[in-house]
């Protein structure tokens, strides 16, 4: 039997079944070989092979107990710390005083670190209209709440450091590691969950911990679950500072939004020895573009983007800051492990300023902050 498809054109004969079968077998062989080569190349060039966790280059010094400031949750203990670290550039950044507020319900299901906006220079439970509602909810559910207060106007982003905020994010990474390992004082109960929640710049601190300090995967994993709200805002610092990228198509009902920084460029400036971000924004200069990309969460070297940590991202549909939603959604779009995305209809950039936003965050933490399998490696 001879088949003629009718599309061969003049002078092209039909193909017999035997010839067709032989051709098909050859094609299958080529496809199989190509599949093997493609798989091999994918493995050989996999970003995971090139990924190395940034070193903290320093650590935490415990100074002693401190008096908790008025406001927020009562029945808490406060501790004074000093964090000396320099991240990837080893530049000897000055020590930063930090106060940590710990609210322990007694028998704990896990520990949750709360990071406030900007450089984290306020307690989470006093940073929002319903911040105390969130923290009190998890405490009532049996979790230990840990709230760092990074001192100074710019908190953990205070530089200068050659690699800017990426290096300075070691302060949060060092703090998280200390919370998980300190026995004097004892904060984290072995065998329970370890989680974190941050808003805006606070979500960026967590984003760096996952992407560059390896705290979301493999042998360096620390967190079982994280909640990133209105960010991470430092996903692409080059986009935020140079302000020349097209709007990012968001999924929060707000359409395309610019990821140019409206209010937080000063935090980026403070992390370097010169106003790199402000200068770039004024002229759309790309002179420091490669530096800003390298120091971003979505850096060029590349970041860890596949996590064993459960990741929840929450955005407000009434965004009023500009960069939080597009920068956060760009990060979400590139994470290769599952991410749950929530949109709070009446939430603005500072989502816990709305009751519905606070309720969403509290419910996420209370339900998803559980030990993950495989178990977190001992530290």
3-state helix/strand/coil string of the chain: CEECCCCCCCCCCCEEHHHHHHHHHHHHHHHHHHHHHHHHHHHHCCHHHHCCCCCCCEEEEEEEEECCCCCCCCCCEEEEEEEEECHHHCCCCCCEEEEEEEECCCCCCEEEEEECCCCCCCCHHHCCCCHHHHHHHHHHCCEEEEEEEECCCCHHHCCCCCCHHHHHCHHHHHHHHHHHHCECCECCCCCCEEEEEEECHHHHHHHHHHHCCCCCCHHHCCCCEEEEECCCCCCCHHHHHHCCCCCEECCCCCCEECCCCCCCHHHHHHHCCCCHHHHHHHHCCCCCHHHHHHCCCCCCCCCCCCCCCEEEEEEECCCCCCCHHHHHHHHHHHCCCCEEEEEECCCCCCHHHCHHHHHHHHHHHHHHCCCCCCCCCCC
In a domain, 313, yes or no: yes
In a domain, 321, yes or no: yes
Identify whether residues 106 and 197 lie together within a single domain. Answer: yes
Identify whether residues 30 and 128 lie together within a single domain. Answer: no
Predicted confidence pLDDT, tens digits, the chain (379 residues): 333 333 333 333 333 434 433 433 443 343 333 333 333 233 233 334 458 899 999 999 999 999 998 999 999 999 999 999 998 888 878 899 999 999 999 888 999 999 999 999 999 999 999 999 999 999 999 999 999 999 988 999 999 999 999 999 999 999 999 999 999 999 999 999 999 999 999 999 999 999 999 999 998 999 999 999 999 999 999 999 999 999 999 999 999 999 999 888 899 999 999 999 999 999 999 999 999 999 999 999 999 999 999 999 999 999 877 799 999 999 999 999 999 999 999 999 999 999 999 999 999 999 999 999 877 777 6
Please count the structural domains in the chain.
2
Identify whether residues 108 and 202 lie together within a single domain. Answer: yes
Identify whether residues 153 and 76 lie together within a single domain. Answer: yes
In a domain, 206, yes or no: yes
Structural domain of residue 36, as residue ranges? 15-45
**Predicted model pTM:** 0.86
Identify whether residues 23 and 115 lie together within a single domain. Answer: no
Identify whether residues 300 and 333 lie together within a single domain. Answer: yes
């Amino acid at each position: 039997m001879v088949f003629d498809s009718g599309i061969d054109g003049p002078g092209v004969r039909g193909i017999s079944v035997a010839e067709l079968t032989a051709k098909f077998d050859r094609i299958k062989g080529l496809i199989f070989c190509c599949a093997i080569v493609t798989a091999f190349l994918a493995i050989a060039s996999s970003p995971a092979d090139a990924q190395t966790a940034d070193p903290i280059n320093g650590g935490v010094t415990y100074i002693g107990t401190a008096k908790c400031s008025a406001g927020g949750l009562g029945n808490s203990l406060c501790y004074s710390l000093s964090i000396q670290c320099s991240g990837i550039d080893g530049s000897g950044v000055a020590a930063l005083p930090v106060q940590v507020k710990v609210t322990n319900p007694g028998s704990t299901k896990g520990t949750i670190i709360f990071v406030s906006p900007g450089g984290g220079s306020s307690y989470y439970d006093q940073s929002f209209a319903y911040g105390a509602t969130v923290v009190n909810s998890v405490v009532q559910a049996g979790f230990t709440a840990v709230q760092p207060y990074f001192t100074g106007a710019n908190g953990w982003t205070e530089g200068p450091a050659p690699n800017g905020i990426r290096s300075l994010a070691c302060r949060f990474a060092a703090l998280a590691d200390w919370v998980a390992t300190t026995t004097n004082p004892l904060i984290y109960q072995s065998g329970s969950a370890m989680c974190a929640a941050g808003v805006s710049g606070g979500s960026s601190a967590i984003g760096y911990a996952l992407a560059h300090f390896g705290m979301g995967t493999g042998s360096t994993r620390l967190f079982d679950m994280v909640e990133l709200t209105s960010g991470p805002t430092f996903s692409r610092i080059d986009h935020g500072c140079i302000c020349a990228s097209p709007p990012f198509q968001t999924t929060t009902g707000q359409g395309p939004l610019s990821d140019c920084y409206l209010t937080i460029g000063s935090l980026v400036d403070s992390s370097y020895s010169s106003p790199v971000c402000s200068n770039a924004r004024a002229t759309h200069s790309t002179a420091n573009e490669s530096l800003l990309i390298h120091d971003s969460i979505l850096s060029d070297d590349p970041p860890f983007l596949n996590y064993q940590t459960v990741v929840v991202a929450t955005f407000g549909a009434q965004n009023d800051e500009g960069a939080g939603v597009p920068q956060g959604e760009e990060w979400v779009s590139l994470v290769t492990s599952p991410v749950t995305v929530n949109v709070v209809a009446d939430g603005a950039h500072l989502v816990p300023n709305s009751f519905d936003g606070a309720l969403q965050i509290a419910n996420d933490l209370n339900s998803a902050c559980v030990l993950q399998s495989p178990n977190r490696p001992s530290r």
